[in-house]
Amino acid sequence: MQQRTIKKPVEVVGIGLHKGEPIKLRLEPLNADAGIVFYREDLAMSIPLSPSSVIDTRMATVIGSQKGFISTIEHFLSAVYAYGIDNLRVVVNGNEMPIMDGSAISFCLLLEEAGIELQHAPKKIIRVKETVEIRDGDKFVRLVPDERSLFDFRIKFDHPAIGEQSETFEFSTSGFVEKIARARTFGFAKDIQYLKSQNLALGATLQNAIGLDEHKILNPEGLRFDNEFAKHKVLDAMGDMMIAGHNILGRYESFAGSHKLNFELTSKLLSRSTSYELIKAEALPNQAFARSFA
């Protein structure tokens, strides 16, 4: 299995979730072994994708430095993960990614428009060798050795429209597009009102998120899936795992996980050489994982 980039540059303009301003996103091919590199066009600043670039995880995954940052990268990165993209330049002209419809499906369509280019270098995979776990009270995230790529997420909200939900997803590109990519982010009206008073979430609407008051869903069209909230948590987790820079072979499990816990998980995994190995995809004993990108 070879490394992947895109065949041609593509771009799109969307609204930023927090500033509510138009953000131009441009994707460009990169050479083999270049990795995923974000670029703030307005600051002429490159930000390589790695746990060391993460500077905030309170409301979204944010990468950068004191000079500048890019927020809300997880939805886009879930699509990058799903299509097995190894090398890519991600150019934006502001401090956040466009929110699009609050899911990852627009980014999937953008990657399909660009096309997938196979490169003359073997694809590298992070293979989990030892269980790694992060806990915060009853909340946890963990990676467990497995010859499949699985995402198992459980949530519990004291809200009549959510309650307890779960989603178990065995990874494949086609499965992601069909079962996960269209699941939208969600927020509570009381929180949005406060955030907007702080000049945040200025771009949040019912066109790019599921809104909830104390009792019900506010979107007139309702949900896209019965367990859309849990599916979106899987989407977020896939994007956050991509911070490691490669697709991961293993089982991700979580109860009430968050961007913060996911970041701590990838950091802990990569800090312990006995917990993982970076191997060529062609060396995997089970080639079903490689076929999942077809």
Report helix, strand or coil for 84: coil
Domain total in the chain? 2
Looking at the structure, do residues 100 and 192 belong to the same domain, yes or no?
no
pLDDT tens digits along 234-276: 999 999 999 999 999 999 999 999 999 999 999 999 999 999 9
Same domain, 207 and 281: yes
Q: Are residues 93 and 143 in the same domain?
A: no
Residues 273 and 134 in one domain: yes
Residues 162 and 274 both lie in one domain: yes
The secondary structure element, H or E, covering residue 191 is helix 189-197
Instruction: Give the structural domain span for 250.
Output: 125-291
State whether 80 and 224 are in the same domain.
Answer: no
| Sites in the chain below the pLDDT cut of 70 | none
Domain finish residue from 122, 147, 172:
122
Length of the chain: 294
The pLDDT of residue 237 is 98
CA dist 107 and 115 (Å) reads 12
Q: Is 173 helix (H, G, I), strand (E, B) or coil?
A: helix
- How high is the pLDDT of residue 19? 84
Q: Are residues 142 and 277 in the same domain?
A: yes
pLDDT given at position 54: 98
Same domain, 104 and 142: no
User: 105-125 pLDDT, tens per residue?
Assistant: 999 999 999 999 999 999 999
Hey, which residues are catalytic here?
259
Q: 136 and 118, same structural domain?
A: no
- Domain end call among 122, 143, 163: 122
**CATH, residue 287:** 3.30.1700.10
The burial of 161, by beta-carbon neighbours within 10 Å (0-12 exposed, 13-18 middle, 19 or more buried), is given as middle
Residues 131 and 265 in one domain: yes
Distance CA 87, CA 246 (A): 10
Q: What is the CATH number of the domain that holds 22?
A: 3.30.230.20
Last residue of a domain, one of 66, 94, 122: 122
The pTM of this model reads 0.96
Cα–Cα distance, 4 to 83 (Å, whole number): 9
Do 22 and 150 lie in a common domain? Answer: no
Whether residues 51 and 95 share a domain: the answer is yes
